[in-house]
Amino acid sequence: MIPGPTEFEPEVMMAVGAPTTSHVAPDFIESFGHALEMMREVWLAPSGQPFIIAGSGTLAMDLAGANLVEPGDRALVISTGYFGDRYAELLKRYGAEVTALKAPAGEVVSDAAVETELKRKRYKLMTFTHVDTSTAVRVDPEPLGLLGEKHGVITVLDGVCSVAGEVIRQDEWKIDVVFTASQKAVGVPPGLALLVASPRAMEAWKGRKSPVGSYYSDWTHWLPVMKAYEERRPAYFGTPAVNLVSALEVSLRLILKEGMEARFRRHSDRGTAFRKAMRGMGLTMIPASEEVSANTLSAPLYPEGVKGADFMKAIGDSDVIVAGGLLPGIKDTYFRVGHMGAVTNGDILTTVAAIDGALSACGYRK
């Protein structure tokens, strides 16, 4: 029950374990092409350009940063935790002049504060994290996408802990880049960076004056490969992660079979139920309100008198695995529970019972 790698569907694991084919085998070309097409449906981005590239979520962050930033460009990073801070560091590597608007732990930066900053200086790029996995805080991407469009800023959504779990309507919300990694709500073992770029983002990349500062991330190499597979032709830049791409095709099929609106609702219902159960036990959460609480994971604080190390040891005796805190400074004060992707109601109930048992073992009584 950690926030990634998550639990994976048996059909997905069958594809991971199947004999590996050539990356130019006809059935693999079909799987790759179909996975690219389905990404547009899952991202709700009919006009977007999808990319599937071997690497982790940090590579997806790198793809957007490397291709869209030129030395001296201004970038605004809205940070709600650890991964927003990472983005600021990453963009600096590509020569961006970075301004970070940082929310206190558990809170979000107000849209008004973002707009004030966008009026103060001319920015090329703005990044925000949909769900920061270190805090379980969820940002509302819709107003930020629209603000980006209004001020002529390219918007980049880190959806690593949200795509295929939280509501995202990339085209409608005018968000230029939305990316994730395979091991979260998309439901495939770690190893794929998944990104969809808007026509505006692709134009900005095409209009660059300087070469992309990363050889591996450069869309110059990858765009012809993505286009070829979608046209059901083989192409090569780097050997694709054949089994993971085949598994992605299986998982995206399952996601679309469930339906995006039903999937969003299921995540919202499970997240709400889990938080209610935690509150029922007398626990409080890092996110300051329901409105900014993620549905893909939760971050409950240890109640007074319970030490993190004791709790982790106690819950280790059950069959439930949860994650510790992550945000520097406060990481020993809370734990994290993922409830995205293939998680069932039974998993939620078992986890709630295991947390209750571990708290009791630590001497906690509500």
Using CA atoms, how far apart are residues 96 and 65, in angstroms rounded to an integer?
9
Q: How many Cα atoms sit within 13 Å of 341 on the Cβ side? A: 28
Single out the segment in contact with ligand PMP by CB under 6 A; choices: 51-59, 168-176, 260-268, 327-335: 51-59
Please state, as a whole number, how many other Cβ atoms lie within 10 Å of the Cβ of residue 273: 15
**Local structure of residue 319 (DSSP, 8 states):** S
Q: Output the smallest distance, CB 171 to ligand PMP, in A.
A: 22
Of 129, 251, 293, 296, the one binding ligand PMP by CB under 6 A:
129
Single out the segment in contact with ligand PMP by CB under 6 A; choices: 50-58, 66-74, 305-313, 350-358: 50-58
Contact string 107-126 vs ligand PMP (x = CB under 6 A): --------------------
CB-nearer residue toward ligand PMP: 343 or 352: 343
Single out the segment in contact with ligand PMP by CB under 6 A; choices: 52-60, 195-203, 267-275, 357-365: 52-60
Of 8, 83, 219, 334, the one binding ligand PMP by CB under 6 A:
83
Of 33, 48, 50, 57, the one binding ligand PMP by CB under 6 A:
57
Which of 3, 15, 1 is CA-nearest to residue 344?
A: 1
- Does 181 help bind ligand PMP (rule: CB under 6 A)? yes
CB-nearer residue toward ligand PMP: 133 or 277: 133
Using CA atoms, how far apart are residues 261 and 16, in angstroms rounded to an integer?
27
Of all residues in the shown chain, the one whose CB is closest to ligand PMP is 57
DSSP β-ladder status, 131-132 and 125-129: unpaired
CB-nearer residue toward ligand PMP: 139 or 359: 139
Q: Output the smallest distance, CB 132 to ligand PMP, in A.
A: 6
Across the chain, where does the E strand assignment appear?
Answer: 49-54, 74-79, 97-102, 125-129, 131-132, 137-138, 154-158, 177-181, 192-197, 297-298, 323-324, 335-338
User: b/e string for 96-122 if b means 16 or more Cβ within 10 A?
Assistant: bebbbbebebbbbbebeebeebbeeee
- Does 133 help bind ligand PMP (rule: CB under 6 A)? yes
Of 16, 44, 58, 146, the one binding ligand PMP by CB under 6 A:
58
- Does 295 help bind ligand PMP (rule: CB under 6 A)? no
The answer for residues whose C-beta is within 8 angstroms of residue 120's C-beta and 6 or more apart is: none
Single out the segment in contact with ligand PMP by CB under 6 A; choices: 56-64, 228-236, 256-264, 355-363: 56-64
Of 160, 202, 277, 352, the one binding ligand PMP by CB under 6 A:
160
Region for residue 362 given its phi and psi (left: phi exceeds 0; alpha: psi -120 to 50; beta: otherwise): alpha
Using CA atoms, how far apart are residues 52 and 218, in angstroms rounded to an integer?
13
- The contact set with ligand PMP (CB under 6 A) reads 4, 56-58, 61, 83, 129, 132-133, 158, 160-161, 181
